C-alpha cells in the first residue's frame, strides 16, 4: 500500500499535536515570565507542569513518548540551569548547545564523506554504507545532510545574538518560529531529494 508523503511527515513529527506539545512549555515560560513581573520560579513551574502534563496525557492515551521525552528532559535541564544562574535567558542555553552539537555532527559527516542522512537511511534499508561508492547517491545524501546543518546554523545565527542582547521575548519567539515549521520543511526537502536514490526511504527515516 502506498503511503502519502504528507502522512509520513505528520507521523515523523508526531502530528500537529506533537508540534504543539514541543512548543507549549516554552510559550508557558515566556507568558508567565511576562505576566508575573519577570518572576523566574512561577515561569519555570509553568513550563515544567505543562511538559509533565503532556507526557502524562500521552501515557494515559497509550501514545508514543518518542517526541515528548526529549521535551521533558530539555525543560528539566533548562529549569536547573536557570535556578543556578538566576538569569531567564539561560532557559534557552540547552537548545543552543543542542543546535551546535547537531550542526557540527551533520557538517563533519559531510566533510569526511559519510553524510549522516545517507548513513541513517542506508542503515534502515539494511545496508549502512553500501551506497557510499555511488558518487551520485553520496552527492544527494550530502546535500540532504547539509540542509539539516544549515537549519541548525540558521537557528544559531538568529538566537545567539538575541541571547547576548538579553532579549528574552525575541529569543523565545525565535525559538518557536525556527522550531518545527522550518524543520518540517527541511525534512520534506530531504525526503524529496533522497527518494529517487534511496528507494525505501521515507520522511520518517530522515529524523
Average pLDDT, the chain: 81
The cell for 97 is: 548547545
Residue 8 scores a pLDDT above 50: no
Other CB atoms closer than 10 Å to residue 193's CB: what's the count?
19
**Confidence band (pLDDT; 50, 70, 90) for 6?**
very low
Do 31 and 172 meet the contact criterion of CB atoms below 8 Å apart?
no
**Confidence band (pLDDT; 50, 70, 90) for 17?**
low
Phi, psi torsion values for 125, nearest 5 degrees: -85, -5
Q: What is the pLDDT of residues 132-144, one digit of tens each?
A: 888 888 899 899 9
Average pLDDT, integer, range 154-168: 96
Average pLDDT, integer, range 107-131: 82
The region of weakest confidence among 23-37, 54-68, 94-108, 126-140 is 54-68
Other CB atoms closer than 10 Å to residue 192's CB: what's the count?
12
**Confidence band (pLDDT; 50, 70, 90) for 93?**
very high
Q: What is the pLDDT of residue 2?
A: 42
Residue 128 scores a pLDDT above 80: no
Residue 100 scores a pLDDT above 70: yes
Whole-model pTM? 0.80
**Distance in Å from the first CA to the final CA of the chain:** 22
Amino acid at each position: 500500500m502506498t503511503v502519502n508523503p504528507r502522512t509520513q511527515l505528520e507521523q515523523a513529527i508526531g502530528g500537529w499535536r506533537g508540534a504543539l506539545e514541543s512548543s507549549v512549555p516554552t510559550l508557558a515560560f515566556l507568558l508567565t515570565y511576562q505576566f508575573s513581573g519577570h518572576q523566574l520560579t512561577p515561569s519555570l513551574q509553568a513550563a515544567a507542569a505543562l511538559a509533565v502534563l503532556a507526557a502524562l496525557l500521552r501515557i494515559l492515551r497509550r501514545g508514543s513518548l518518542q517526541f515528548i521525552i526529549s521535551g521533558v528532559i530539555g525543560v528539566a535541564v533548562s529549569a536547573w540551569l536557570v535556578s543556578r544562574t538566576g538569569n531567564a535567558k539561560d532557559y534557552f542555553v540547552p537548545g543552543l548547545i543542542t543546535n551546535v552539537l547537531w550542526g557540527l555532527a551533520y557538517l563533519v559527516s559531510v566533510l569526511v564523506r559519510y553524510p549522516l542522512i545517507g548513513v541513517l537511511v542506508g542503515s534502515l534499508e539494511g545496508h549502512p554504507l553500501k551506497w557510499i561508492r555511488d558518487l551520485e547517491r553520496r552527492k544527494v545524501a550530502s546535500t540532504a545532510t547539509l540542509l539539516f546543518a544549515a537549519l541548525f546554523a540558521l537557528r544559531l545565527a538568529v538566537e545567539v545574538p538575541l541571547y547576548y542582547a538579553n532579549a528574552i521575548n525575541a529569543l523565545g519567539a525565535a525559538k518557536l518560529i525556527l522550531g518545527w515549521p522550518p524543520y518540517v520543511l527541511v525534512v520534506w526537502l530531504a525526503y524529496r531529494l533522497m527518494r529517487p536514490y534511496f528507494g525505501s526511504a521515507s520522511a520518517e527515516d530522515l529524523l
